[in-house]
């Protein structure tokens, strides 16, 4: 079936689902109930808490914030929050953003000493007129909002950093499936409203001051409550260059399924990069009808999918199969 035939009007799908204003979708049977997807297997724990929040009457925004907080709070996770891998100078610097059903968003980048950057991003969204705060300003704001200053560099991570520093002589490592697992989360509540979040410590051994895609609205995360949401993981520079998550949502607006949209943007990124085989980039997407999709350059990307009370880790298809 071509995309044009799959394009339904707002009233058609809206009346089928009772999910409010829908503008563009495939002819799909809408999935009922809450749906949550998160990148990587760490998403399982994030989804579990997110689902519990929704079941207890919490908002979809609470679901995506508190869900990823679980991973930010885990000192054993090396790529998010406390315990995150430091930059080339040994500083843990965090990036995160959040987006709600009303197209409101908040973001922090290059934030140090605060383990829950996504919660600071939410405060930026809710308590300021701005979208994004960075560095010292973001830290000052976080402290004013009551966040606690903490040492984010754990003994284990420091040891790993020292080893890598000695071995790699300051070379930037590739982001790959072993060393990079930004958590991106998209959720739809039972009423069909969407929110998303994304949080990371970024590329290990990045230059001091480097900001990746995760706090950039439209790159690491994008949500349009009429259409769906998408989040990215992997080499942030490639995602920023292609406005990755916004493009996935835009493709869904024009009739692609979440799976087709993720595949198309991953192929576009690969087509534009000579060294695409050496990097990992992956996307997850969820549309308002409840369809989901995921695709990556390299094999090994997985995502956690929570629907109908089942929370499962699913492998994403990839450009490079082997």
Residues that bind ligand GLY (CB under 6 A): 182, 200, 202-203, 212-214, 233-236
Pure H helices in the chain: 3-6, 10-17, 43-55, 60-72, 117-127, 135-144, 155-168, 236-241, 244-253, 258-272
d(CA 164, CA 55): 43
Closest contact distance (angstroms) between CB of 236 and ligand GLY is 2
Closest contact distance (angstroms) between CB of 68 and ligand GLY is 13
How far is residue 51 CA from its own chain's centroid?
17
Task: Specify the 3-state DSSP secondary structure of 287.
Answer: strand
Burial of 260 (0-12, 13-18, 19+ CB in 10 A): buried
Which helix (H) or strand (E) segment is 315 a member of?
strand 310-315
182 in active site: yes
Nearer to ligand GLY among residue 30 and residue 135 (C-beta):
135
Structure tokens at 58: 């919490």
Nearer to ligand GLY among residue 8 and residue 240 (C-beta):
240
DSSP code string of 46-99: HHHHHHHHHHTT--HHHHHHHHHHHHHT-TT-TTSSTTPPP-TTS---EEEEEE
Q: Please list, in sequence order, all residues whose beta carbon lies within 8 angstroms of the beta carbon of residue 311, skipping any fewer than 6 positions away.
A: 44, 47, 48, 51, 304, 305
Among residues 182, 200, 233, 302, the one annotated as catalytic is 182
Closest contact distance (angstroms) between CB of 111 and ligand GLY is 13
Nearer to ligand GLY among residue 8 and residue 231 (C-beta):
231
Give the Å distances, CA to CA, from 76 to 25, 109, 149, 251: 40, 22, 19, 36
Nearer to ligand GLY among residue 35 and residue 285 (C-beta):
285
Closest contact distance (angstroms) between CB of 84 and ligand GLY is 10
Nearer to ligand GLY among residue 195 and residue 214 (C-beta):
214
Structure tokens at 9: 């009007």
DSSP code string of 143-158: HHTTPPP-----HHHH
Nearer to ligand GLY among residue 193 and residue 200 (C-beta):
200
Under 8 Å between Cβ of 114 and 235: no
Closest contact distance (angstroms) between CB of 54 and ligand GLY is 26
Closest contact distance (angstroms) between CB of 212 and ligand GLY is 2
Closest contact distance (angstroms) between CB of 213 and ligand GLY is 5
d(CA 132, CA 271): 31
Nearer to ligand GLY among residue 204 and residue 290 (C-beta):
204
Give the Å distances, CA to CA, from 121 to 108, 152, 193, 218: 5, 18, 20, 15
Task: Give the residue numbers marked as catalytic.
Answer: 182
């Amino acid at each position: 079936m071509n995309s044009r035939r799959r394009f339904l009007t707002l009233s058609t799908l809206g009346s089928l689902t009772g999910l409010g204003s829908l503008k563009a979708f495939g002819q799909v049977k809408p999935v009922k109930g809450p749906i949550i997807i998160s990148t990587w297997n760490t998403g399982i724990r994030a989804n579990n808490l997110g689902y519990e929040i929704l079941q207890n009457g919490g908002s979809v925004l609470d679901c995506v914030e508190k869900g990823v907080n679980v991973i930010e709070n885990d000192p054993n996770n090396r790529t998010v929050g406390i315990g995150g891998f430091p930059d080339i100078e040994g500083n843990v610097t965090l990036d995160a953003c959040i987006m709600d059903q009303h197209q409101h968003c908040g973001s922090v980048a290059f934030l140090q000493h605060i383990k829950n950057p996504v919660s600071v991003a939410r405060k930026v969204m809710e308590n300021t007129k701005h979208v994004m705060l960075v560095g010292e300003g973001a830290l000052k704001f976080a402290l004013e909002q009551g966040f606690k200053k903490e040492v984010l560099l754990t003994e284990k991570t420091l040891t790993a950093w020292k080893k890598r520093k000695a071995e790699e002589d300051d070379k930037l490592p590739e982001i790959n499936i072993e060393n990079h697992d930004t958590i991106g989360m998209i959720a739809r509540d039972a009423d069909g409203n969407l929110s998303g979040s994304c949080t990371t410590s970024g590329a290990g051994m990045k230059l001091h001051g480097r900001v990746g895609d995760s706090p950039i609205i439209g790159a690491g995360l994008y949500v349009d409550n009429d259409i769906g949401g998408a989040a990215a993981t992997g080499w942030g520079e490639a995602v920023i260059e292609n406005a990755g998550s916004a493009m996935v949502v835009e493709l869904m607006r024009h009739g692609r399924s979440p799976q087709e949209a993720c595949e198309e943007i991953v192929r576009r990124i690969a087509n534009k990069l000579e060294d695409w085989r050496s990097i990992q980039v992956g996307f997850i997407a969820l549309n308002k009808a409840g369809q989901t999709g995921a695709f990556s350059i390299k094999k090994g990307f997985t995502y956690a999918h929570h629907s109908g009370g089942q929370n499962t880790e699913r492998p994403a298809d990839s450009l490079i199969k082997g």
